[in-house]
Amino acid sequence: MTENTKMDAEGAAELVTEARLWRDKGWTAQVIKNEDDDGWAVAMYREGEAEPALVGPWTMGRDKKNPKPLDAFAFSTLVKTASEVIRRAEQHEYAMLHKRLMVATESGNIDVALDIVPDDDDPYALLSAFDADGKQLAQVRVGPEFKFNLRSATAWIEDEFRRPGE
């Protein structure tokens, strides 16, 4: 433990500010040797995660052999970048699991949603329909192979919301 490490009430490392390792506010930045070349990389870990949220190149120091030391500005920038990477990944995952489209019908627009439940043993999706006021008109369980598009949504509505394939 270095003098740059502070302890929290439980005795866990709260703040570390070393040349190649910074830990603060749930994040750890670690400068590592880049195995692909002679350079250095920095890995950003979110507290509790085994895999880094971000790994990127790191600047060489003035001696052109050792890495540039981490500092408060670099750490702050790395936290912001890693947080953005995580946010985008979460948005992408959400978009893959929750799809919506609008179907125009004679009685008005119907919002149709497909919410995928990624279960290892029994994956399925919920197909739902909502009127213009957001009131749920119907909901059925469909298999993971269900093809969600304007054609299938329109056919489901025209079939009076019966489970597709029945």
pLDDT value at position 1? 41
Q: Is the pTM of this model over 0.85?
A: no
Which strand (E) or helix (H) includes residue 125?
strand 124-130
Stretch 61-66: mean pLDDT: 86
**Cα-atom radius of gyration of the chain, to the nearest Å?**
25
pLDDT at 11 > cutoff 80: no
- In this structure, the number of other CB atoms found within 10 A of the CB of residue 19 comes to 14
Rounded average pLDDT over 37-41 = 86
Give residue limits of the domains in the chain: 5-94, 106-158
pLDDT at 116: 92
**Residue 68 burial (CB count, 10 A):** 16
Higher pLDDT, 110 or 10: 110
Confidence check: pLDDT of 24 > 80:
yes
Closest by Cα among 140, 143, 144, 131 to 161: 140
